[in-house]
């Protein structure tokens, strides 16, 4: 169970992480603007998700989209992958690691727990 105090502290941690990533990405994009565009390595990357709630996934997707040089494109139907577009990257795994280690990790404690799903098939079998 996540207490309100833990959630408030997690929110401030998430804000701190976001501001740091925002500044870092802004410098990266500013540098990319002034270099030869033929050296840019854009990509669409599938990031595996540990987040389980719609709120957690939406929070991460919005943070990614608000960060310069990245845009959230799609969440897989089973909510296990977030597809993102990056302006420039050294490797796909490096981007995945940064998103999971910094952003998703900051969203996880703020997320809370998912609501349990009702099993409609077993209720229909009893009737």
- Provide the CA 46 distance to its chain's centre, in angstroms: 11
66-95 burial, b for 16+ CB within 10 Å, e for fewer? ebbbbbbeebeeeeeebebebbbbeeeeeb
Which pLDDT score is estimated for 6?
83
pTM (2 d.p.): 0.82
Half-sphere exposure of 33 (CA within 13 A, CB side): 8
Beta strands in 49-118, from DSSP E residues, in sequence order: 70-75, 81-86
**Tens digits of pLDDT across the chain (127 residues):** 678 888 888 889 999 999 999 999 999 999 988 888 788 999 999 999 999 999 999 999 999 999 999 999 999 999 999 999 999 998 999 999 999 999 999 999 877 655 555 554 544 444 4
């Amino acid at each position: 169970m996540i207490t309100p105090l833990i959630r408030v502290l997690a929110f401030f941690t998430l804000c701190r992480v976001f501001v740091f990533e925002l500044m870092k990405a802004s410098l990266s994009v500013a540098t990319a603007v002034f270099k030869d565009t033929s050296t840019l390595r854009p990509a669409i990357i599938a990031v595996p998700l540990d987040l389980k709630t719609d709120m957690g996934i939406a929070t991460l997707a919005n943070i990614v989209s608000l960060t310069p040089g990245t845009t959230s494109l799609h969440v897989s139907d089973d909510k296990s992958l977030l597809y993102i577009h990056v302006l420039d990257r050294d490797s796909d795994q490096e981007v995945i690691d940064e998103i999971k280690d910094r952003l998703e990790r900051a969203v996880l404690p703020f997320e809370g727990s998912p609501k349990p799903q009702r099993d409609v098939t077993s209720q229909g079998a009893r009737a």
